[in-house]
């Protein structure tokens, strides 16, 4: 294992060696690679959802490459190395699991989760103080919401922001109250839609309409959080369902010798309902 990891680090170093390395790899920076890092994480999640362990193995390798790539660029700047990365996560795991690696009484899963949250909050506070001392522009005004990465998917970040605020009581008491908020936000979207006088304005929504739709999505993410659902996962499931049913429409029309363009909305809607009924039939 150690030899294989060392070989991977050697390959990354070779790719980043000026003069003999890969021109594309040499051109990259932290910011240019970041989108690939996010993409690889999504591909790991996709393999898990599909239950494809062969793909999961490959995608985890691709994700590991991203870590190695970032670590190599940092090493070139004399900032840190891959060894520093592994040491940091090792120390963090030990620090966050005192019930495992230190003398402590047995704990329930709930107590472990609470302990993890408290230790993480302390770490985040120390990190904010360190950034402020270093003159980071993002920590001039310390906030409970600080440290939630901007690069997270918007729905996921919304839930994390809501969770942070909820810890100090700034939250809805139950899911039904959130549902009332969603109805309120829907009405505000409807009001903005009434103001739109032409179809063109809807294709390029006014800032106010865009803002109200954002508020509605934020409220929906909050509802998902209150009922224990992951809004990103829920939306991925809805995307997959839409894709599956739309493909059914395409296949049925092809059997009839027709294209989508040659079909009416009523025809497509009828096939959509047929696909929906087939999915609900017991297998």
Q: Six-digit token pair at 256?
A: 């009839």
Q: Does any domain span residue 80?
A: yes
Residue at 147 is within a domain:
no
Task: With CA atoms as reference, report the closest residue to 175 among 224, 125, 208, 138.
Answer: 224
Q: pTM for the complete prediction?
A: 0.63
- Whether the pLDDT of residue 200 is over 50: the answer is no
Residue 142 CB coordination number (10 Å): 13
Distance CA 151, CA 157 (A): 8
pLDDT tens digits along 124-179: 667 666 666 666 555 555 677 877 877 788 999 999 999 989 988 999 999 999 99
Q: Does 268 lie in the same domain as 216?
A: no
* Distance from C-alpha of 236 to C-alpha of 246, rounded to nearest angstrom: 15
Q: For residues 248 and 271, is the Cβ–Cβ distance under 8 A? A: yes
User: Is 213:196 a contact under the CB 8 Å cutoff?
Assistant: no
Residues 237 and 185 in one domain: no
CATH number at 47 reads: 1.10.287.1080
Same-domain status, 87 and 31? yes
The range of the structural domain enclosing residue 91 comes to 2-96
Instruction: Give the long-range contacts of residues 206-212, CB within 8 A, separation 24 or more.
Output: 212/185, 212/188
In a domain, 163, yes or no: yes
User: Do 86 and 9 sit in the same domain of this protein?
Assistant: yes
pLDDT confidence band for 198 (50 / 70 / 90): low
The structural domain count of the chain equals 3
Same domain, 85 and 24: yes
In a domain, 148, yes or no: no
- Examine the domain organization and report whether 220 and 241 are in the same domain: no
Enumerate the H helices of 77-169 as residue ranges: 82-96, 98-101, 109-133, 154-166
The model's confidence at residue 280, banded by pLDDT at 50, 70 and 90, is confident
Answer yes or no: is pLDDT of 268 > 90.
yes
11 assigned to some structural domain: yes
Structure tokens at 70: 């970032």
Stretch 232-248: mean pLDDT, rounded? 93
174, 236 Cβ separation under 8 angstroms: no
Tens of pLDDT along 72-129?
999 999 999 999 999 999 998 988 888 788 765 666 777 767 766 777 677 766 766 6
pLDDT at 136: 58
Per-residue CA distances from 59 to 64, 121, 201, 235 (Å): 9, 31, 42, 22
Q: Does residue 116 sit within a domain?
A: no
């Amino acid at each position: 294992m150690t030899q294989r990891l060392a070989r991977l680090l050697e390959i990354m170093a070779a790719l980043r060696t000026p003069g003999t390395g890969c021109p594309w790899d040499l051109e990259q920076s932290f910011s240019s690679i970041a989108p690939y890092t996010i993409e690889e994480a999504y591909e790991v999640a996709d393999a898990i959802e599909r239950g494809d362990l062969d793909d999961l193995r490959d995608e985890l390798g691709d994700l590991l490459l991203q870590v190695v790539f970032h670590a190599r660029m940092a090493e070139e700047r004399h900032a840190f190395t891959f060894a520093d990365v592994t040491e940091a996560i090792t120390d963090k795991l030990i620090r966050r699991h005192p019930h495992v690696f230190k003398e402590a009484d047995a704990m329930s899963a709930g107590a472990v989760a609470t302990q993890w949250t408290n230790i993480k909050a302390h770490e985040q506070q120390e990190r904010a103080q360190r950034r402020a001392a270093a003159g980071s522009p993002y920590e001039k005004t310390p906030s409970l919401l600080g440290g939630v990465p901007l690069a997270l998917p918007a729905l996921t970040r919304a839930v994390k922001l809501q969770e942070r605020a909820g810890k100090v009581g700034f939250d809805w008491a139950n899911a039904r109250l959130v549902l009332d908020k969603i109805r309120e936000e829907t009405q505000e979207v409807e009001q903005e839609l009434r103001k739109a006088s032409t179809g063109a304005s809807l294709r390029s929504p006014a800032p106010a309409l865009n803002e109200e739709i954002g508020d509605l999505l934020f409220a929906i993410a909050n509802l998902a959080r209150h009922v224990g659902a992951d809004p990103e996962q829920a939306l991925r499931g809805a995307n997959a369902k839409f894709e599956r049913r739309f493909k059914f429409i395409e296949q049925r029309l092809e059997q009839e010798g027709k294209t989508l363009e040659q079909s009416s909305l009523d025809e497509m809607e009828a096939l959509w309902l047929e696909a929906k009924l087939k999915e609900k039939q017991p297998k």
